[in-house]
Structures are given as C-alpha cells and as structure tokens.
Amino acid sequence: MRLDLDLLQGMLGFIRANDTGSVLRQFGIDPSVAAHCRFDHGAVLVFPSTVAELCAELREHGLAPGEAVPSVVVRDRLCRRYGYTDIEVAILRAPVTAAGDSPCEIEIFALPSAPREIELAERAEQHETHVALQVVTPDPIVLSGLTTALDRAGLTPDGGGYNAHVDSTVLYFRKAAQRLELISQGYHAEALTTHLRQQPAYRLLSMMTGAWETQAIAVAAELRIADYLAQGMSTQDIAVGTGTCHDSLLRLMRYLASLGVLRGPEFELTELGELLRTDARYSLHALALLYGGSFYQSFGELSHAVRTGRESFAHVFGKHHFDYFAERPELGFNKAMASSASIFGQVAEVFDFSSAKVVVDVAGGNGELLNHILDVRPHVHGVLFERPDVIGSLRRRERCELVAGDFTTGVPQGGDVYLLSRVLHDWDDQQCRQILRQLAGSMPEDAELLIIERLLPEDSSPSLAFAWDVHMLCNVGGRERTMEHYREMLAEAGFTLAASHELPLDFALLQARIAAPHHQ
C-alpha cells in the first residue's frame, strides 16, 4: 500500500489546494462555465489486497470512506485496455475540503488482487487519475455548451458511460497527460452517444469509410432514387424501375438514411436528398456522379500525386482532365461544374453591377453565373468566353455573345467587369500569373476583375478549401490559395486587391482593379 498511499496523499493535496476556478484555469477552460459546474472530486486507482483493508487504511489517515459501490465505466475501460472480462472494480468516496472551504471528495477506484500486468501498467501510466466537475443542472443545452467549451480548450473525448449503481452519466476528456471527468446526474443518452462518437478511434474509422459514403451517394444518383421518391414510389416499385435487388436496395437506402440523405423507416427525402433530384433548382446530381466516377478513380491514386507532385488523373486516364472530359461530353463535366449554383445568386448581391455595361465571363463553363447576372441586371450585355468544345454545345441567349478561345493567349477586350469563377485554382502559380497578365493586358484600366475561389484559411479554421486543395492536387494539378497568396499573384500581374466578400459553400469573391499602366 505504500505506493498507493503516496498517490492518495498527492491527490488529497491537489484537492485541498484547488477550487472550481483554479481547476478550470489549469485546463484552460473558459471561466464562465463555472456557473454551470463545480469541482466535485479527484480520483485515483489503487491496488489493495481487499477493499476492507483499504477502508481501514483510509480511516487510519483521517478519511471517512462511504460504502463501496461497483464501478461500471472504469471497469469496462480496464477490461478493454487489457483484454479481461471478469475483473471487479469498486468505488469508494471520502469527503475532503477543497480550497475556500468548498465541499469536495476523493474518489478511489479499488482493484483488489489485480493481475500483475494491470497493476504495473496502471501505476506507471496513471490512466484513471483525474479530476471531476459536477454539472449543476444537467440538461441537453447545458451539456452541449460545456462540451463545446472543453473542445475549445483543447480537450479531446476519452470515453465515458452510465453507472446505474449511482445513476450518473460520466464523460471523460483528456488534454496531454491531464484527464477531466464531467459528471451529470441521471442518464443522458444523447450526450453520451455524441461524446463517444467524438473519440479519436470512432472519428478516424468514420473518416476511413468516407469512400463508402461517396459511392453510396453516387449509386443513389445513378439510380435516380431521389427522383423516384419524389414521385411517391414504394421501394418495391423503385427496385422494379431501377432493375435492382429489393433487399440490396433497402440496405443501400438504410445506409443513406444513416447519412441523413434519406429519412427512415418509410424512406423520404431529407434536405440533403432533395439535392440529388435531377429537377432540383440547385441539383448536385451531376456532381455526385462525377465524384463517384472519374474523380473517385483518380483519387484512388492520390499517393502518386503526393509522391510526384503531378496530378493522378493524368496518371490514371492518360491525359489532363479538361481534355479527357472534352472528349466525353456524356460524362456531364460542365453540368457538374454548374452544380454549385447556390453561390451565383450571392454574386450580384455583394457586387454592384449597376454601372457595368459589358460583363465578360472568362472560362465560364455553361454560363450559369453569367446567365444569373443577366437575369437580375437587364441592362448588362454578356460575353461568355470558353473553349470551342464548350461553346459549341451551348444555346445562344439574348444579350449574350458566345466567344470561343484560349484564355492563356488572350481574352476579349472592352469589358467593364471580368469574371474568373473557379478558374485560377485549376492552375499552378506560373500559369495563374500568365492568365492574370493576359487579363491585365486586355482589360480597360477602369474595369474590375471578380475572382471567385475558395480561400485557404491562414490558420486551421474549418473550411472546405482544405479538402478541395487535395482534390486539385490529385485531379487537376492546381491548388487552393490563401487571400495573401492571391494578393501577391495579383500584384505581380499588375492588379491591386480592392475588396473581398464571403459567399456560400466557403467561397469568396475577390474584387481587383488595374494598379498601374499595364503596357509593358
């Protein structure tokens, strides 16, 4: 017991020297959460011969332990960690006065006659040593707020569970070698499930199966399941209409429901599923097919792109993706590229086109963005500048001139506003500078350039741009960039970055102007 007594004395010293505020400070947690929790106890795991011996030892040292109750959460953690199924762990609690005369306890997990490997490992690693905060009024909103505060402080989920013997839900968190327990009276199933799904192993496994999600959504798009469900068809009728095995179809649809694409058990479309309808206003149907098709195949060779710095798409298909899709219009690449149409409505809102007479959309695909601007700005004349294979497949519309060409060698002159929507991220820096210099040499000095791209955050803030940056590496050979990166490239080409505006789907609109005479 000598080692255990040293451990107990150390925890007793910690409890007596701290209160709720100081515990929060040690973990870097926002002190405002002190209104919703209090320092409840410090805990250690010890290895007595018997629980009775431990109780006698505690009383000799001035502690008054209560009745031992079975542990559930720590017992299960130890069993999983060491591969046992039959160990018994008891919990004893004894009152201790914390700093400021606030009531607190020491919690002791006792594993009598422990297997030697567990005792040696746990004495060395102290996996179960922790301090605990009791949630004062546990409810879903308070628990969500507390776990968010802990996440912002850099604590990561480290297991948890419900102990029916004491009717409490516990959530464990870790920050380096420190462990914190959040205790809530009662059974909080939703909070516990959410917490356990945030554990590193669960999260990594979910990420590793992301390819399954891609294919499930792509197959749903291929079979047009969303269209059938929108018509009110039963799963039996959908199976007949799609020529699929009904049982297999049900299994796919259950998986889609778990992803939030469908709503079970009767299978209805959710807001996500509605986007897979071919007749949806902002349909992502074509994009789902593309991401589950050619891009999916090339992403399987991401290692090639990382090792060589060259896109794996050309490695897989033998040519750059622009040439590949130009030869295969049936794959719907241009239609898929227009799928992010939810950003288009915002462009005319964040930029004032009222003084523009001619808007030139450079490499504008099927003209979806330009068409929207023409719809909301009836005084504007549009010029859609694209590759000949794209222009040849488009219908002409009023107030829009279709011009075929290559923007790396020149662009139409005389525009008031030039658009580069999701173009620069397709190219490396040298090619981008060439494109921008072509624009600077063709644009009137009072014209404006609008660039629409996803911006990489300067820090690690969440953004779709990180994923798309790897996508560009793998499938296109380009890259996403930070605001400063674009600012530098624009300056080198003779532009100044005048303003930026946020758009949906983590896009941004960068507004640039000619900075100096550009005839060099």
Angle between helices 235-242 and 246-258 (to 10 degrees): 110
d(Cα 370, Cα 439) in Å, to the nearest integer?
Answer: 18
Closest CA to 274 of 266, 283, 265: 283
Is pLDDT above 70 for 455? yes
d(Cα 108, Cα 416) in Å, to the nearest integer?
Answer: 75
Whole-prediction pTM:
0.78
Residue type, 500: S
Is pLDDT above 60 for 464? yes
pLDDT at 397: 86
pLDDT at 518: 45
- Residues 60-89 have pLDDT tens digits of 999 999 999 999 999 999 999 999 988 999
> DSSP 3-state assignment of 198?
coil
For residue 508, the cross-strand partners are 453, 502
Any catalytic annotation for residue 315?
Answer: no
Contact criterion met (CB below 8 Å) for 342 and 505 = yes
For residue 502, the cross-strand partners are 508
Confidence of residue 410 (pLDDT cuts 50, 70, 90): confident
Segment 380-387 shows an average pLDDT of 94
Is pLDDT above 60 for 434? yes
- The tokens describing 446, both together, are 């009072």
pLDDT at 340: 67
Confidence of residue 341 (pLDDT cuts 50, 70, 90): low
Is pLDDT above 90 for 519? no
Choosing from 425, 485, 501, 518, the catalytic residue is 425
Is pLDDT above 70 for 1? no
Segment 218-231 shows an average pLDDT of 98
Confidence of residue 335 (pLDDT cuts 50, 70, 90): confident
d(Cα 252, Cα 258) in Å, to the nearest integer?
Answer: 10
Residue with tokens 């030697």: 116
